[in-house]
Amino acid sequence: MTDFGFREVSPEEKTQLVGRVFSSVADRYDLMNDLMSVGIHRLWKRHFVAGCALRPGQAVLDLAGGTGDIADLVRRRVQPGGKVLVADINRAMLEAGRRRMDDRGRVGGFEWLQVNAESLPFADRSFDHLTIAFGLRNVTDKTAALAEMHRVLKPGGQVHILEFSHVAPEPVAKAYDLWSFQVLPRLGALVAGDRDSYQYLAESIRRFPNQEALAGQLQEAGFERVRYENLSAGIAAIHRGART
Ligand code: SAM
């Protein structure tokens, strides 16, 4: 059994339920991110990508890439000559992302691919960097995904994970809980017509390993020089590690 928010479900059911969440919110996903975080997710994402030490010509896999926020930022830094592959299990999210990039006139430099992070259709040692933002929490078998992430990186390649994490200071944690459980589901109902998906979001964050635990899981998967930094008092955190 595994967790889907605060519920215990079978792994197959979790994959199905997560699929339903993102198919349901795909068209309102970007707007909801802006509203829920009052735009702060954009700053986190810029900071995340700025710290990836990307170079022109590099190959980057943006896993669970959804509507392409990270890939769009990565693309500029690996040009000329580089490429970014947006890989996500959910067709509706990929389609929303592709439409969005087409609307902005950003048609080159991306590839969009429907894949499951637990079993990547790429050869060993294919990528210089792998980014995954707000994705790992939604993957059913995180151990398998981390092993795959390690496998497809070139020696010297780096993994970069941006994910919600655990807030330490008590007053911040209380306010954040109030926002997460009282405001987010109502906002989800109002804007995306889907209360339950945003209730799942709040719950899944609480079930996700804290900063130290995730660092330990990265080490177990074989990553070296694992380190993390907190963003906004730990509401989110960035973990990085290297394949040697
Ligand atoms: N990275 C984007 C961002 O930062 O805006 C999207 C993040 S969204 C919260 C999570 C994404 O993870 C969804 O698009 C979902 O389809 C994807 N996802 C969930 N399970 C996955 C899996 N097993 N393999 C690949 N993608 C997965």
Structural domain tally of the chain?
A: 1
pTM equals 0.98
The verdict on the CB of residue 71 being under 6 Å from ligand 1 is: no
Burial class of residue 16 (count of CB atoms within 10 Å of its CB; 0-12, 13-18, 19+): middle
> pLDDT digits over 183-225, tens only?
999 999 999 999 999 999 999 999 999 999 999 999 999 999 9
> pLDDT digits over 51-95, tens only?
999 999 999 999 999 999 999 999 999 999 999 999 999 999 999
Residue to substitute in 88, 100, 137 for testing ligand 1 pocket (most ligand atoms within 8 angstroms of CB) = 88
Could you tell me which of 83, 86, 82 has the C-alpha nearest to residue 94? 86
Could you tell me which of 67, 25, 34 has the C-alpha nearest to residue 193? 25
> pLDDT digits over 83-98, tens only?
999 999 999 999 999 9
Q: Is the pLDDT of residue 162 over 90?
A: yes
pLDDT at 87: 98
Q: Which residues have CB under 8 Å from 70's CB, separation 6+?
A: 45, 48, 49, 62, 131, 133, 162
Q: Which residues have CB under 8 Å from 212's CB, separation 6+?
A: none
Structure tokens at 49: 């990508």
The verdict on the CB of residue 88 being under 6 Å from ligand 1 is: yes
How far does residue 180's CA lie from ligand 1's centre (Å)? 20
The verdict on the CB of residue 22 being under 6 Å from ligand 1 is: yes
- The residue whose CA is least distant from atom 9 of ligand 1 is 134
Cis bond upstream, residue 80 (ω within 30): yes
How far does residue 93's CA lie from ligand 1's centre (Å)? 8
pLDDT at 38: 96
CATH code of 216's domain: 3.40.50.150
| Domain around 57 | 2-242
The verdict on the CB of residue 118 being under 6 Å from ligand 1 is: yes
pLDDT at 167: 95
